[in-house]
Amino acid sequence: MSEARKTFPMSTFVAYVKGGESNNSVQELLSYMTQKDIDAEFEPFAAALAKAWIYEQHPELAKMKTGQVAGLGENVSVGALPAEEMLKVDGIFTKLADSREALASQAATIAELNAKLAAAESKLGVTEVAMAEYKGKCEAFEASGKGEGDAIIVTSQTKVEEYIGKVDELLALIEDVKKNGVVTVAAGAPAGAASDDGTKGAGAPETGGAPSDSFGFGSDPFGDDSW
């Protein structure tokens, strides 16, 4: 421990005990009495501990006005707090130091989380831009392909109708075969067409009746005299 007592200007002592403006001299006085490094954060706790001890030793100071205390002299001699008071100071300052460390750790964690949040928001912004661009391309593609798709549908419908017409012609031809037998189309005339006198054309096969007396392909090979 440092020297037993230390002298300070009375103005410093008055500013301390009567609530004047704090300054470096007041912090120095408190640092000596508590034997601790005092900063702006720890000063209120050190001031309360030291003032309680001073008023306990000199209760008349609590009743005196600022001018009365200042009239006690130009300087004041103070000593460090006794051992039992130092135990209180040590306990409180340990808790304060732990709290400061915890707050610093929390601040670092918050800063890290804020950085991650900013990065995530940045990525989200890029994703939203990409999605908007993709949506625009899809809409443009749909708009450009709609007319072409309609043309394809119209063309397909035309082909379908053409095929249906051909099928109808084929069905009509099949029905004709069912009614009249094998249909032979020659010289552009339909098979079995009627002549000018209303009879079937020459060479048209007769349907029904008795079978022919001879069988051949246009002549009687057995009717020749040489046979």
Model pLDDT for residues 79-120, shown as the tens digit of each residue: 888 888 888 888 888 888 888 778 878 888 898 888 888 888
Same domain as 87, residue 58: no
Q: Which amino acid is at 146?
A: K
Same domain as 91, residue 41: no
How many structural domains is the chain composed of? 2
Residues of the chain with confidence (pLDDT) below 70 = 1-3, 20-22, 142, 144-156, 163, 181-227
Give whole-number Cα distances, 181 to 118, 199, 208, in Å.
Answer: 90, 18, 12
Last residue of a domain, one of 50, 81, 112: 81
Last residue of a domain, one of 162, 177, 192: 177
Nearest partner of 29 among 90, 67, 80, judged by Cα = 80
Full domain range(s) for residue 16: 5-81
Phi/psi-derived region of residue 75, left when phi > 0, alpha when psi is between -120 and 50, beta in every other case: beta
Q: Which two tokens stand for residue 24?
A: 């470096």
**Vertex 184 angle, CA 181 and 190, to 5°:** 100
Same domain as 140, residue 86: yes
